[in-house]
Amino acid sequence: MGAQYKNSCKIYSAWNYEKEIEDLNKASAQGWQLVKGGCFHSRFVKNPGIQYRYQMDFRKIEDMGRYIETFREQGWEYINSTFNGWHYFRKLYDPTLPEEAYEIFTDRESLHEMNNRWARIALGIGIALALFAVLYCIKLIRQPNLPSLIQVLTFAIESVVLLRGWSIMRKPGSNRSRHGDSLFLTIFFIVILLGAFGSIALSDLRPDLYTEQNAASIDQPIVDNQWLEFKIHYPDRYYLDLDIEAPEPATIKVMDASGTAVYEVTETSFHKQDLPVKLSRGTYKLSLSCTSGFDVKCKVQ
């Protein structure tokens, strides 16, 4: 019979990597030995006849061969590395040895340096995400709408979580274990994914239409001539860019399916951008009324 494998999709935070090490050690005691560690996915093989102690390191490696050899000389077997710089090692477990024999860092300075490597990256990304949140917040204030609100919240949550991790990791030797941290991280990533895809989906559902009508003169008055129909998929605040030029006052309306005007303007000369209009889900039409020549341009977004 061939080897028996299993996969694990647990999520661990960088600032609580000791929890992942603890789980790897428990799995090894239960006969499951790590084959490939990963940020979101790990693979194990069933081998109850052996037991390991695991450790992890975080750094950018220029000479991988020398790096692995250095750990091998200390009794550590290299397993694999992840795309974002985490490296997995293991050592055969001897119950007669003290737990200190399975520490990958033998001095406080080395542990502090590893923590700082991740903390510096987290700080940079956290600040960048905070700036994105501020920029989208400015956009949200200028043009309130649901996709922008979701973007602000998503960037803000990502920034807060990373800056929290930075704060924890810059305290070497502190108790970073957090009860329920894996569940918290799982929920966090679900929220981020839903926020990202939700914002993109809602943006794609918004209308992005441009239309224009013009005539140098007309033979008879035009009353509620409906020339453009568009659909609104979800209630929100939408925006009009509207230009009107006419010798006599011309009226532009945004009308719902029942024929009720939800927005109306009557002018001979009118040039405005980002006019806010609250629209519900349904079908709408642009309507024109005038008594003379006209030049009308409208953008709906």
Render pLDDT for 213-259 as a digit per residue (tens, 0 to 9).
999 988 899 999 998 999 999 999 999 999 999 999 999 999 999 99
Domain termination site, one of 151, 180, 205: 205
CA distance 30 to 9: 18
Q: Are 117 and 85 part of one and the same domain?
A: no
Q: Are 38 and 60 part of one and the same domain?
A: yes
Domain termination site, one of 68, 87, 104: 104
Q: Are 218 and 277 part of one and the same domain?
A: yes
Q: Are 244 and 196 part of one and the same domain?
A: no
Which ranges in the chain belong to alpha helices (H)?
17-29, 64-73, 108-142, 146-169, 181-205
Q: Are 100 and 113 part of one and the same domain?
A: no
Question: What's the number of domains the chain is made of?
Answer: 3
pTM for the model? 0.73
Q: Are 168 and 183 part of one and the same domain?
A: yes
CA distance 120 to 110: 15
Is it the case that residue 174 has pLDDT exceeding 70? no
Buried b (16+ CB within 10 A) or exposed e, 50-75: ebbbbbbbbeeeeeeeebbeebeeee
Average pLDDT of span 92-120 = 80
Q: Are 96 and 124 part of one and the same domain?
A: no
Q: Are 174 and 85 part of one and the same domain?
A: no
Average pLDDT of span 43-69 = 93
Q: Are 122 and 162 part of one and the same domain?
A: yes
Amino acid (1-letter code) at residue 67: Y
CA distance 100 to 257: 74
Domain termination site, one of 205, 230, 256: 205
Between residues 9 and 51, which one has the greater pLDDT?
51
Residue 96 burial (CB count, 10 A): 5
pLDDT of residue 180: 57
* Domain containing residue 25: 5-104
Q: Are 225 and 201 part of one and the same domain?
A: no
Task: Supply angle C-alpha 110, 113, 118, rounded to 5.
Answer: 135
